Amino acid sequence: MFNILRPQPGLHLNLRDPRGGESQADVAAKITELVHVRDLTGNGIWPLLREIENEEHLMRIRYAEVGDDLMVLKFPTFFFPESGLDDIIGKARKQTQGPDSGLAR
């Protein structure tokens, strides 16, 4: 909603790598003109369905495990199926219950 109400031409990022090195990056926004009227008769429905599937794919919860001590999660939105969240929480719990996590089992 924030990007719709207040679009930004770009974003300035301060980055830090795993070794502590710092850098900066400027990322330009991608501007896409939306189609307002759609023809859903005949074959006009297929591009819409493909667009919906692509959007669902982009909005999925993603994660990466870095060694045994770090899990990076990406939540593109806070509206997602509960089952997807349960899977990620299960993986995060395995991370925090490792032998060196310092947490009691």
91, 71 in Cβ contact below 8 A? yes
More confident residue, 72 or 102: 72
d(CA 63, CA 73): 4
pTM of model > 0.85: no
Q: Which residue would you say has higher pLDDT here, 35 or 62?
A: 62
10-28 pLDDT, tens digit each: 888 899 988 889 999 998 8
Q: What is the dihedral of CA 39, 29, 62, 48, to 10 degrees?
A: 0
